[in-house]
Structure 1
Amino acid sequence: MMKKFREKVVPEISGYVCDRCGREAEAHDGEAEELLSIDRVGGYCSIFGDGNRISVDICQHCLKDVLGEWLRIVPLRFL
């Protein structure tokens, strides 16, 4: 029996764009490594709606600007 093949296209991430400020980062550079990506589905009591998808990609600069005063930053040696 002879094998048959077909082409398969698989998308890959080439970069990121911050949803807040529009800053762009290539996929494997240092800035992209610090991007925060949230992607989840709201549950039964969610203020966003049961079953609704909630997502955001935000750069480290915007994360600090928006949530900085509430972030707990612990040096690695204490983890």
Structure 2
Amino acid sequence: MLLARALEEKLVSLYRGGQITGGVYIGKGQEAVSVACGLFLEKGDIFAPLIRDQAGRSAFGEPLVDVTRTYLGSRLGPMRGRDGNI
């Protein structure tokens, strides 16, 4: 949860610096519920996180670098740059 919060704070900093287009919606205060869901999922389960569920995505096993790449619209991210940030 601490790592997810630190990542979100960095994303906010990048957004304020103009490096992220769209918006950044953080899950501050919601990490516990999100992480609990992510920890109890198993491979093959469907996890449909909302925009504030970075902590759960991390707990489920998504690398933080992929979360960051999605926010930055990188072609190296899991969405291949097609699904930019909201």
| Fold conserved between structures, TM > 0.5 | no
Higher relative contact order (CA 8 A, sep 6+): 2
TM-score bracket relative to the smaller structure? under 0.3
Higher helix share: 2
Higher strand share: 1
**TM-score normalised over the length of structure 2:** 0.24
**TM-score normalised over the length of structure 1:** 0.25
Larger radius of gyration: 1
